Amino acid sequence: MANRAYELFEEQYYARTKKSKQMYEEARKYLAGGVVADGAYRTPYPLYMKEARGTKLWDIDGNEYIDIMSGGGPTILGHSPAPVMEAVKKQLDHGTQTLVTHSAAVELAKKICQHMPGMEEIRYVHSGSEAVHTVLRLSRVYTGREKHAKFEGNYNGQLDNELVSGSNFGGLEESPESVAQCPGIPHGVLNDIIVLPWNNTEASVALIKKHAKELASVVLEPVACAHMGGIPAEKTFVQALRRVCDDYGIVLIFDEVITGFRLGLSGAYSILGVIPDLRTMAKLVFGGLPGGLYGGRRQIMELVAAQPISSQAGGIMFQKRKMFQSGTFAGNPISVTAGVALIKELEKPGFYERIDGYGERIRDGIRKIATAMGFPVQVVGVGSMFTVYFSEHPVRTIRDAAKANKELGAAFYMGLIVNGVYVAPFHWAITNGAMTDDDVDRILEGSEKILKEMKRHQA
């Protein structure tokens, strides 16, 4: 059975990662959960890395992995890419933080606005979560309304008004309920969020119309990644959202924290042909360094660009309906310098064709191998992104994903790690610019070996 295959892979994991197990016991004394973030944890205990270069990671036990998690998304060129590292090293000699706008911040903004349709002005923040939180606030300022709509199964960040109905869900599929994704989310926050069914045009449009008078915005991941593994929004679905938002004066927001520059230089526009009012970006934009940004229509972004005026008390005030947003490390010289170097690499001919081709080859290869062995499998994804579900039925929504066979999935993902392919369990995987045909061959050979072992214990 799948459980026995998992147990065998787990035994190999214990044998290969003894130093990580020891460090986990030490780390738990000082780090909550022994890790820097939830995404770094895995059962039975997390790995601890010592080096990352190109497509590879090396853990403290000396094991080598092909990293198909790519740092959670940011390392589209691979780890420590020379052009980015060289630019950062030069900038380090000229300062790391000034608060005064750095010239590279202007250069990066110019390139983003040139490549991304509808990005007429941008502002920098510190993370994707902050970017989404800020555009939701901006949409409320612009419309004078207070609620926003998001889609079931979409991950839009980790702040209170974002961590809703992602991996958790409730209510009818056609009219989902607002469900907190973890404890600590105030109930009042849930009342301000309308949850819509993913890729269900008729039901989503009906719910938007029903709540139109109180909706400031509709926010969606153009490709549902974190919780669904790379399931794109259907083009006609997004076109319908664009029309209904226009009809009712609702701000349409694309959360492109993952897809921005991942699907191409124009982001989700390359597959949907729809221009949002506002867009958020982060992850890979800064060449593997921290940062985030948001932007969109100048008419809306002007509400951020208020000039401060002095108050009678000697403090600072802003004009009515202008929105406050600032941040000490937003657009810092190191991150924006890395971003400029990154985009110059992405602009080179053939880059996206290569990483997308690797993604398609992996999706198609795993699908064929698993099907030939009699496994019910759905390998979802688009471009350079992919995720494996063991299911007889197509996976289009988070409810479909929840029905997939978890035992087979757990065994497969544990098998990957002990066969030198790094990705968190059930996490979406991605290719990058440092990959080679040999890397892809090793991923497919490892997948075949894993599936054969699973099949042997299924008989």
List, as one string, the DSSP characters of 232-292.
EPPHHHHHHHHHHHHHHTPEEEEEETTTTTTS-TTTTHHHH----SEEEE-GGGGTTS--E
pLDDT for the residue 458? 80
Q: What are phi and psi of 348, to 5 degrees?
A: -70, 135
Of 331, 364, 393, which marks where a domain is finished?
331
The domain total for the chain is: 2
- Answer yes or no: is 106 within a domain: yes
What are the per-10-residue average pLDDT scores of the chain (459 residues)? 88 98 98 93 96 97 97 94 97 92 96 98 97 97 97 94 92 94 92 96 98 98 93 97 98 97 96 97 95 97 75 55 87 97 97 97 98 96 96 94 95 97 92 97 98 88
Residue 428 in tokens: 């979406």
pLDDT for the residue 321? 57
The one-letter amino acid at 349: P
Kindly state whether residues 59 and 116 are assigned to the same domain. no
The one-letter amino acid at 422: Y
Q: What are phi and psi of 95, to 5 degrees?
A: 110, 150
Catalytic residues: 155, 255, 283
Look at residues 193, 206, 179 and name the one whose alpha carbon lies nearest to residue 146: 193
- Answer yes or no: is 344 within a domain: no
pLDDT for the residue 99? 87
Kindly state whether residues 313 and 169 are assigned to the same domain. yes
CB 49 within 8 A of CB 57: yes
pLDDT for the residue 176? 95
Taking the C-alpha atoms of residue 99 and residue 80, their distance in angstroms, rounded to an integer, is 26
Kindly state whether residues 365 and 303 are assigned to the same domain. no
Kindly state whether residues 273 and 388 are assigned to the same domain. no
Taking the C-alpha atoms of residue 108 and residue 261, their distance in angstroms, rounded to an integer, is 13
> Domain residues for 318?
98-331
Q: In whole angstroms, what separates CA 275 from the centre of its chain?
A: 19
Kindly state whether residues 392 and 318 are assigned to the same domain. no
Query: Is the bond preceding residue 44 a cis peptide, omega within 30 degrees?
Result: yes
In the three-class reduction of DSSP (H, G, I as helix; E, B as strand; rest coil), residue 150 is classed as strand
Kindly state whether residues 42 and 188 are assigned to the same domain. no
Q: What is the CATH number of the domain that holds 236?
A: 3.40.640.10
Kindly state whether residues 127 and 255 are assigned to the same domain. yes
- Answer yes or no: is 110 within a domain: yes
pLDDT for the residue 1? 59
- Answer yes or no: is 341 within a domain: no
- Answer yes or no: is 92 within a domain: no
Q: What is the CATH number of the domain that holds 411?
A: 3.90.1150.10
β-strand partners of 251: 217
Kindly state whether residues 307 and 374 are assigned to the same domain. no
pLDDT for the residue 134? 97
- Answer yes or no: is 337 within a domain: no
Of 331, 359, 374, which marks where a domain is finished?
331
CB 198 within 8 A of CB 243: no
- Answer yes or no: is 240 within a domain: yes
